[in-house]
Amino acid sequence: MYPFKLKPATKDYIWGGDRLKHEYGIDSPDSIVAEAWMLSCNVSGASTIMNGPLAGKSLADALFSDVEKALGINNSFAVYFPILIKFIDAKDDLSIQVHPRNGYALENEGEFGKTEMWYVLDAQEGAFLYYGFSRAVTRDEMRERIENNTIIEILNRVAVKKGDVFFIEAGTIHAIGKGIMIAEIQQNSDSTYRVYDYNRTDSNGNKRELHIGKALDVTDTNFVPGVPKVHASVKKPGYCVTRLASCIYFTVDHLSINSFAKLECDEKSFTSLLFIEGSGSILFNNREYGEDGVIAVSKGDSLFLPAGTGAYRIEGRCRVLVTVR
């Protein structure tokens, strides 16, 4: 198996915009691209391989024959591909929602739960999001406020700017506000319970489904988050690295590369490379990868490196989110 350059699956949800097409080069026949699933084996939208002898196959199909080796030692007991990585363009507000934890999701949805993190790629002036409650509430109060459309009055409203990071543990009520673009790294799950959607209707005049009962079951009503954590950068030869998040599901680093970065993908885990700014080239020790060991990259590119890919070097001026498990 070799490093895959991926084409994302795209979603045209009603709150999305067109910036992913125009600014990140995301290819889609739809005028709206709300989400681009940059690294996905999910049945609701798998990424497609763009390079090499497996070009045209879905990532899920390509990994099926050698999944344990490709995912690495850390994932040897994984039931299915463990993470899902997205770009999200919120031209309008997303619904107020919550995701279940593993046990509830497995019992009720047939998949794992959804803990996620957000890295803010861009935010318009005055943009904000909802992240947890502004104070502890009771389940009865939450139910009452959902019923009378006042739920947002008790949510924690947070102003955001480019570069902010949020860790959204399963059970945390939340919503991305309009004018925000994010990269989302999450458990491989599509289980979302909406509790409020601003009484919007779709193109057919129908309101989107709410999932109030399930949301009440899984929401942590005592969670009042603090200020988003600021992470210190560590200077390395040719680049700076910042740890954005680390949990049992994923570890994410932000690399700001000024000239080059020497890295390695060992046998412990696969590596996801998501290019969020700039351009450059990846040079692999194995000359069979890419064009004589080189793959050109630019803003909006997503690569999957199978475990054991070995040493590689990113050259250029770019910013990259590096995810392992």
Q: What is the pLDDT of residue 199?
A: 87
Closest CA to 134 of 221, 70, 212, 215: 221
CA distances from 196 to 9, 14, 17, 54, 218 (A): 26, 15, 21, 42, 15
Please name each of the domains of the chain with its CATH number.
4-218 (2.60.120.10), 233-324 (2.60.120.10)
User: What are the phi and psi torsion angles at 46 (to 5°)?
Assistant: -95, 145
The 10 Å Cβ neighbour count of residue 320 is 27
**pLDDT tens by residue, 268-305:** 999 999 999 999 999 999 888 988 999 999 999 999 99
Closest CA to 87 of 318, 301, 270: 301
Q: What is the pLDDT of residue 44?
A: 93
* Alpha-carbon span 93 to 134, nearest angstrom: 19
Q: What is the pLDDT of residue 137?
A: 95
DSSP letter (8 states) at residue 232: P
Q: What is the pLDDT of residue 227?
A: 65
* Alpha-carbon span 264 to 224, nearest angstrom: 38
Q: What is the pLDDT of residue 228?
A: 66
Q: What is the pLDDT of residue 50?
A: 97
User: Which of 194, 208, 287, 317 is flagged as catalytic?
Assistant: 194
Q: Give the global pTM.
A: 0.95
Q: What is the pLDDT of residue 201?
A: 79
Q: What is the pLDDT of residue 67?
A: 79
* Alpha-carbon span 260 to 235, nearest angstrom: 12
Q: What is the pLDDT of residue 284?
A: 96
Q: What is the pLDDT of residue 214?
A: 97
DSSP string for residues in 153-180: GGEEEEE--TT-EEEE-TT--EEPPTTE
* Alpha-carbon span 168 to 166, nearest angstrom: 6
Q: Which residues of the chain have pLDDT under 50?
A: none
Helices and strands (H and E) in the chain: how many: 6, 23
Q: What is the pLDDT of residue 188?
A: 96
DSSP letter (8 states) at residue 15: T
Q: Does the annotation count 157 as an active-site position?
A: no
Cβ-Cβ contacts under 8 Å for 166 (sequence gap 6 or more) = 117, 118, 120, 129, 131, 158, 228
DSSP string for residues in 26-72: ---SSS-BSEEEEE-EETTEE-EE-SSTTTTSBHHHHHHTTHHHHH-
Q: Please write down the HEC assignment for all residues of the chain.
A: CCCEEEECEEECCCCEECHHHHHHCCCCCCCCECEEEEECEECCEECEECCCCCCCCEHHHHHHCCHHHHHCHHHCCCCCCCEEEEEEEECCCCCEEECCCHHHHHHHCCCCCCCEEEEEEEECCCCEEEEEECCCCCHHHHHHHHHCCCHHHHEEEEECCCCCEEEECCCCCEECCCCEEEEEEEECCCCCEEEECCCCECCCCCECCCCHHHHHHHCCCCCCCCCCCCCCEEEECCEEEEEEEECCCCEEEEEEECCEEEEEECCCCCEEEEEEEEEEEEEECCCCCCECCEEEEECCCEEEECCCCEEEEEEEEEEEEEEEC
Q: What is the pLDDT of residue 93?
A: 96
Q: What is the pLDDT of residue 205?
A: 81
DSSP letter (8 states) at residue 74: G
